[in-house]
Chains A and B, each alone.
Chain A
């Protein structure tokens, strides 16, 4: 009687699960579609059918870490921020506050978005596909996460350095205009995740999709004894590094409430 046929079971009140009614294949599809609609997932995402989830990559791993360590089922069950585990992603108090306030948290994998004719110098260009951000979601904040390991290739690059994130404005005729977004100081001796506040850039890209030319990361030694160096030279993990340490962006969003009423009307 516990044969799993439809994915829908009813407890008979005596802690036993019995088949309430066996649904046929068509009804099963209808029920599945109804649940998907309710969750706002009417269609299976592209290129995911039959593939095992790539949860070992840094971005899904980050959200899984939040799911397992930093979420309460509801407001009453939520444990105080200082009691929750920071996990391996070094979640700060500010991160936990953003998590608490968010209805939706999205991660965006970094792409090496090469544009022909653009001189990159020694910095790194990162591009993020933010086209799936629902327009009705209000952006609370966004951060760029970079993994820094202690494997520094050149001894001359050891010590303190500054990472600066710029938004790329123009890439015409090989020239580049950059707008300062955020900067962080770090030292080569410390391993872990570095975060930069890129809320302004995400806000701009969501409101101006055609203006999304990505970020430019520039790294300078703190004493300015050397000109701009490559991020990999001070231990920043790039696209060729381990999958669970690759750069990604995380966005925190709050629902405006308009969507829910729209869905209800539609249904």
Chain B
């Protein structure tokens, strides 16, 4: 429904770059892959207490895990089994899940109060790669 609605609303968009009308982009968006999600501390107006960074590329994984699972999806053996069982019983067994396979950390430097400062490492905040599980 969301897609249909967006399509009707998008008359003023440039259709060559529109992911809802461009068939090539639709194909790409369906495949399990890494997508950019930039969280901007600056735009959130947090720069008065978060000294660094300005923001970070959080990323997320999105798309479907369809048969055959190719190398780009980093599919596990279990994901292949899951896909085949799904093909046999699509109503009963779901497809494998498109999820992060590798995550990395970010460091954030911010004021605790007006004089003390903290540099904190946050593990598993950035998606480095996605795959089918």
Contact call B118/A48, Cβ cutoff below 8 A: no
Min CB–CB distance A27 → chain B (angstroms): 13
- A115 adjacent to chain B (CB < 8 Å): no
B40 touches A7 (CB 8 A): yes
Check: B66 CB closer than 8 A to any chain A CB. Answer: no
Q: Does A175 contact B (CB under 8 A)?
A: no
Residues of A within 8 A of B55 (CB): 7
Docked complex Cα distance between A183 and B37 (Å): 50
B17 touches A4 (CB 8 A): no
With contacts A10-B37, A53-B48 taken as known, whether A48 is within 8 angstroms of B116 at the C-beta atoms is: no
The interface-forming segment of B71-79, B80-88, B93-101, B102-110 is: B102-110
A110: nearest residue on chain B (CB-CB)?
A: B115
Choose the segment among A11-19, A141-149, A159-167, A220-228 that binds chain B (4+ C-beta atoms closer than 8 Å): A11-19
Residue pairs across A and B with CB atoms within 8 Å: the count is 134
Given known contacts A13-B25, A59-B115, A104-B121, A7 and B109 CB-to-CB distance under 8 angstroms: no
Of A67-75, A89-97, A207-215, the one with at least 4 CB within 8 A of chain B: A67-75
Q: From residue 21 to 79 of chain B, which have CB atoms closer than 8 A to chain A?
A: 25, 28-29, 33, 35-40, 43-44, 47-49, 51-52, 55
> Could you list 15 further interchain pairs (A-B, Cβ under 8 angstroms) beyond the known A51-B114, A63-B109, A67-B107?
A7-B40, A9-B36, A9-B37, A9-B38, A10-B35, A11-B35, A18-B19, A45-B113, A48-B113, A48-B114, A60-B111, A60-B117, A71-B107, A102-B121, A106-B119
- A132, CB-defined interface residue at 8 Å: yes
* Secondary structure call for the B interface: strand
Question: Known interface pairs A11-B36, A32-B44, A64-B52. Does A132 touch B116 (Cβ–Cβ under 8 Å)?
Answer: yes
Q: B43, A104: Cβ atoms under 8 Å?
A: no
The CA-CA distance from A63 to B52 in the complex, in Å, is 10
Contact check, B106 vs A105: say whether CB atoms are below 8 A apart: no
**Contact (Cβ within 8 A) A52 B48:** yes
Residue of B nearest to A1 (CB): B13
A64–B38 alpha-carbon span in the complex (Å):
22
Across-interface contacts of B37 in A (CB, < 8 A): 8-11
B116 near A44 (CB under 8 angstroms)? no
Is A54 interfacial (CB-CB < 8 Å)?
yes
Q: Is the CB of A132 within 8 A of B43?
A: no
20 A–B contacts from the bound complex (CB under 8 Å): A8-B38, A9-B40, A13-B28, A45-B111, A47-B113, A48-B111, A48-B114, A52-B48, A59-B115, A67-B52, A73-B126, A74-B105, A103-B121, A105-B120, A106-B112, A106-B117, A106-B119, A107-B117, A107-B118, A111-B115
Q: Name, among B25, B44, B109, B117, the residue most crowded by chain A CB atoms within 10 Å (CB to CB).
A: B117
- Tell whether, in the assembled complex, residue B120 and residue A104 are in contact, meaning their CB atoms are under 8 Å apart: yes
- Bound together, the chains give a CA A53 to CA B123 distance in angstroms of 25
> Using a CB–CB distance below 8 Å, which chain A residues touch chain B?
1, 4, 6-14, 16-18, 32, 35, 39-41, 44-55, 57, 59-60, 63-64, 66-68, 71, 73-74, 102-109, 111, 129, 132
How many angstroms between the C-alpha atoms of A49 and B46 in the bound complex?
Answer: 9
Chain A residues positioned under 8 Å from B109 (CB to CB) = 60, 63-64, 67
Are B115 and A104 in contact, with the CB atoms below 8 A? no
Residues of B within 8 A of A63 (CB): 51, 109, 117-119
Whether A109 and B48, one on each chain, are in contact in the complex, defined by CB atoms closer than 8 angstroms, is no
Q: Using Cβ atoms and an 8 Å threshold, which residues of chain B touch A16?
A: 17
B51–A64 CB distance below 8 A: yes
Output the least CB separation between A9 and chain B (Å). Answer: 5
A-side contacts of B108, CB under 8 Å: 39
Q: Which residues of A contact B114 (CB under 8 A)?
A: 45-48, 51, 54
- Compute how far the CA of A103 lies from the CA of B116 in the bound complex, rounded to whole angstroms: 17
Whole-angstrom distance between the Cβ of A141 and the nearest chain B Cβ: 15
Closest to A105 in B: B119
